[in-house]
């Protein structure tokens, strides 16, 4: 099949969406499909490039016009990029598959079909949108052929907002199960200089909606109970994360923000515990990659009992009550003292269901079933 993947954001940046879509595109190509990614242009001079064998076309206006022309760049530009790539290759796309958090961006999928009326249109909502305006147009999803979401909880919410039930499919986001694998924890601690420490690790963006404020408030209770505990934070948004410096300095050398670039897969596998205390999932993958990557490394994890997470990981991990500082602290203390081996194994097996190979096959099955 000839497939166009439409994405918000730039593929020159280390955005999570760009990384996962690139992995997906490569697996589609491995399965003998033709793939073109159409994304936003953010300051790059060249509109067309090829990365890892994937054709990428950057559409819209450059950064200097971003604020004034944001709506054009996000909604309309992809359609013209798609038309240009069809002319360039002299071949029509059979599938137009767009990814976003905001339902309103389904309009770019619909507009793109004006240049190829026979194409199957698929729109994937990877998370709940942070933008109020973006979340107000759920019925726009009814104009595409298929809508995919990462959980049944998410699907039910779409139905209550007027999205047609027969259009919705639950297909998870994938993780890299070849990169995130179990490793020798003690050997990694020796390598990085953390011997004789109980490492509690957090990675991802640091801000209130990710739960880092709640985690930091739980730290004193944990340190009081465990004199070997060492908290490490690996923030994706370092400039913002530095706002926590003064607050964390109170804990001395028992809490550290890793400001240098680190091998995340190593640190996840090295940790005695990864803590992801999500108060909600707005702006976070519907099945959070950090959670699943931790499970794939056979590392114990504490997260929160949100309905989506209960659906996705069930009884595979320790769950605290969201926004409950005492519950988060007690769950960390309990997990450091004893974490059942059968729970770790169950979590590992569950994580393998989110491999890029498995998820790509799920999408291909949808593409093929609708085209018959």
Whole-angstrom Cα distance, residue 135 to residue 129?
6
Give, rounded to a whole angstrom, the gap between the first and last alpha carbons of the chain. 13
| Tokens linked to 185 | 């924890």
| pLDDT over 60 (residue 327) | yes
Of the candidate ranges 55-59, 135-139, 270-274, 357-361, the one whose mean pLDDT is the lowest: 135-139
Q: What's the pLDDT score for residue 284?
A: 85
Q: Tell me the percentage of the chain whose pLDDT exceeds 70.
A: 93
The CATH number for 2-174+355-371, chosen from 3.40.50.300, 3.40.50.2000, 3.40.1010.10, 1.10.290.10, is 3.40.50.2000
Q: What is the mean pLDDT of residues 30-39?
A: 93
Whole-angstrom Cα distance, residue 287 to residue 152?
11
Question: Domain spanning 185-352: which superfamily?
Answer: Glycogen Phosphorylase B; (3.40.50.2000)
Of the candidate ranges 61-65, 171-175, 207-211, the one whose mean pLDDT is the lowest: 61-65
Kindly list the domain boundaries of the chain, sorted by start residue.
2-174+355-371, 185-352
* Spatial contact of 264 and 280, defined as CB atoms under 8 Å apart: no
Q: What is the mean pLDDT of residues 204-222?
A: 94
- Cβ-based neighbour number of residue 337 at 10 Å: 10
Banded model confidence at residue 212, pLDDT cuts 50, 70, 90: very high
Q: What's the pLDDT score for residue 65?
A: 52
Residue 177: which of 354, 366, 360 has the closest Cα?
Answer: 354
Q: What is the mean pLDDT of residues 24-35?
A: 94
Whole-angstrom Cα distance, residue 209 to residue 236?
14
Residue 41: which of 12, 1, 21 has the closest Cα?
Answer: 12
* Spatial contact of 22 and 115, defined as CB atoms under 8 Å apart: no
Whole-angstrom Cα distance, residue 280 to residue 346?
24
| Tokens linked to 1 | 């099949």
Whole-angstrom Cα distance, residue 288 to residue 301?
13
Between 284 and 370, the more confident residue is: 284
pLDDT in tens, 160-173: 999 999 999 999 99
Q: What is the mean pLDDT of residues 302-314?
A: 95
To the question of pTM greater than 0.85 for the whole model, the response is yes
* Cα dihedral: 43, 48, 52, 53 (round 10): 170
* Spatial contact of 343 and 163, defined as CB atoms under 8 Å apart: no
* Spatial contact of 301 and 184, defined as CB atoms under 8 Å apart: no
pLDDT in tens, 236-268: 888 888 899 999 999 999 999 999 999 999 999
Q: What's the pLDDT score for residue 51?
A: 85
Q: What is the mean pLDDT of residues 124-147?
A: 84
Q: What's the pLDDT score for residue 94?
A: 95
Indicate if 185-352 has the same CATH topology as 2-174+355-371. Answer: yes
Whole-angstrom Cα distance, residue 96 to residue 71?
20
| pLDDT over 70 (residue 15) | no
């Amino acid at each position: 099949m000839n497939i166009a993947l439409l994405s918000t954001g730039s593929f020159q940046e280390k955005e999570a969406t760009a990384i996962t879509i690139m992995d997906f595109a490569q697996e589609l190509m491995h399965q003998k499909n033709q793939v073109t990614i159409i994304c936003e242009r953010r300051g790059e001079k060249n509109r067309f490039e090829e990365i890892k064998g994937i054709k990428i076309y950057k559409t819209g206006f450059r950064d200097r016009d971003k604020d004034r022309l944001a709506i054009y760049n996000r909604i309309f530009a992809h359609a013209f990029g798609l038309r240009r790539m069809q002319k360039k290759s002299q071949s029509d796309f059979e599938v137009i598959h767009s990814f976003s958090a905001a339902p309103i961006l389904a309009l770019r999928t619909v507009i793109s079909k004006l240049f190829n009326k026979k194409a199957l249109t698929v729109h994937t909502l990877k998370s709940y949108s942070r933008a109020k305006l973006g979340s107000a147009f759920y019925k726009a999803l009814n104009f595409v052929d298929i809508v995919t979401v990462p959980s049944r909880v998410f699907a039910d919410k779409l139905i209550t907002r007027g999205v047609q039930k027969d259009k919705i499919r639950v297909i998870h986001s994938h993780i890299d199960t070849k990169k995130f694998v179990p490793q020798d924890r003690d050997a990694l601690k020796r390598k990085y200089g953390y011997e004789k420490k109980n490492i509690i690790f957090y990675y991802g963006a640091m801000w209130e909606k990710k739960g880092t404020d709640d985690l930091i408030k739980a730290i004193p209770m944990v340190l009081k109970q465990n004199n070997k505990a060492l908290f490490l934070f690996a923030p994706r948004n370092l400039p913002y994360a530095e706002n926590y410096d003064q607050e964390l300095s109170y804990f001395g050398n028992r809490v550290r923000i890793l400001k240098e670039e680190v091998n995340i897969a190593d640190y996840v596998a090295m940790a005695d515990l990864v803590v992801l205390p999500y108060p909600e999932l707005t702006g976070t993958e519907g099945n959070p990659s950090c959670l699943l990557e931790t499970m794939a490394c056979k590392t114990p994890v504490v997260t929160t009992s949100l309905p989506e997470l209960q659906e996705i990981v069930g009884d595979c991990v320790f769950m605290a009550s969201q926004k409950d500082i005492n519950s988060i602290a007690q769950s960390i203390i309990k997990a450091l003292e004893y974490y059942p081996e059968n729970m770790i194994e169950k979590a590992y097996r569950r994580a393998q269901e989110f491999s890029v190979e498995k998820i790509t096959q799920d999408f291909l099955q949808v593409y093929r079933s609708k085209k018959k």
